[in-house]
Amino acid sequence: MLCNNNSRSPLCSFGSPWPDLNEGLFYNDVVSTSSDSGLTLIHFYSSKYKNSAPLQGWLQRIHNGQITIDGEVVKEPKAILRDGMELVYHRLPWREPDAPYLLQVLYEDDDMVALNKPPGLQVLPGGLFQQRTVLMQLQWRASKGSSSLAIQGSHPVPVHRLGRGTSGILLCAKTKVAKTSLAAYFADGTSLIGDSSNANMEQSKRRKISKIYRALVNGILNQDKIIIKQPIGTMRYPGVAKGLYVASPSGKPALSKVEVLERDSQLNQTLVQVEIESGRPHQIRIHLSFIGHPLLGDPLYDVGGQPMCFDSEHEDESFAEDGGYERPAKPVPGDCGYYLHAHQLVLSHPTKNEVIKITAPLPSILRTQAETEELM
C-alpha cells in the first residue's frame, strides 16, 4: 500500500521490532585449483578472511564445528583442501547493538519511496549490523504487503547511503528502471567533480539531483559562504577493513558548498546548510573538519579531516566470544553522536517528466531560531 505523501498530508510510518537475535550468516566458498587446492582449512580461512577474525578466532570456530566441507562438519584445522570442495562457514546468531526500527515515509509512488531515516540505523548490512538495517525493514514491509512487489518477491532498495549517525532523506528504488536511473543521478554528480571543462560545467548546472543537508559544527565560521574542494581518499585504520576515508591530496575530487544559517557565540557553534555535488563517503564530516569545524559531537573526525586518534602499527589479536575481533576501542565511522541531517532532495523523476522536491522535518537542534518560533 502506498502512503501517497505530499506536503499537505500527514506522514505515515512503518517498521517491525527487531528480534532479540538475528539469524546468523552462512558464507559459501568453493575450492579452486589455482589458489586454494592444497591449503589447510585454517590457512584458507585465516588468510582469506583475516578481516573477520584473528588466527585463534578461526581455530575456535573450526573446533566449534561451525565449518562444513561438502556438507560434513570438520573440526580438524589441518584438513587439506582439494579442488571442487564446497566450504560453508556458519556465523552463529548474535544480538546486534540497539537500533531504531520505525521509518517515516516522506514520498512514495510506483517507482520510488523516500524515507526519513533516524540516526542510529544502518542502511545496508555490514559488520555487527546484518539484520537491524533499513534494507531489512523494506524487505519485511514488502513481504507483508499485498502489492505487486510482494507478489513478485521484490522490494525497494536504497540507491545511496547515509552514515549510521546521519538522519534524513534516504531514496529507495522500487523498480529496476528507477534503480538504474536514480543510481546514475548520484554517480553522474560525483563524476563531474574535478573536471573544469566547459561542457561538464554546463552539464553540472543541469544536474538531475540536488542534496541539501543541515549540520551543527564546532566553532564560529566567519565567512557566510564557503566552497570546499578538498579531495577524499583512504588510509589504514584499525577496525576499518577497507580503510578510513579522510582528507587526502591524492584522493578523489569532492565538492561541498557551505552556507552559514546561524551563529551561536555563547555556545561556540554554527548551524550550517551544506549542498554536496559529489557523494564521497562521510564527505560532509570530512570537509567541515578539514576547514577546522568538525561536526558537534563527531567522535571520529578532528580538525584537518583526519581521525582524532590513530596508531597504524597496533593490531589487536584478541577476539570476541564468536571468534571475531573485539569491537574496536577507537572510534569508527559508524559511531554516532554528531548532528547531520539530509534535509532536502530535488530530483527529476526517473520515469515522469516532472521535478520532485522532498523535505525531511528538521530535528529541533538543527532548526534556526526563526524556524523554531514559527513552529511554536
pLDDT in tens, 139-151: 999 998 755 454 4
- Where does CATH 3.30.2350.10 sit in the chain? 96-192, 209-310+333-374
> What fold is seen in the domain 25-91?
3.10.290
Asked whether residue 280 carries a pLDDT value surpassing 60, the answer given is yes
pLDDT of 119 reads 98
Judge whether 209 and 220 are in contact, CB under 8 Å. no
Q: Is CATH 2.40.160.40 correct for 96-192?
A: no
Q: What is the structure's pLDDT at 189? A: 67
Enumerate the CATH 3.10.290.10 domain ranges in the chain, comma separated. 25-91
What's the grid cell of residue 29?
566458498
The predicted model gives 176-204 an average pLDDT of 72
pTM: 0.87
Phi, psi of 347 (to 5 degrees): -150, 155
Question: For 85, how many CA atoms within 13 A lie in the half-sphere containing its CB?
Answer: 23
How high is the pLDDT of residue 233? Answer: 97
CATH number of the domain located at residue range(s) 209-310+333-374 in this protein: 3.30.2350.10
Task: Give the confidence band of 315 by pLDDT, cuts at 50, 70, 90.
Answer: low
CA distance 215 to 121: 18
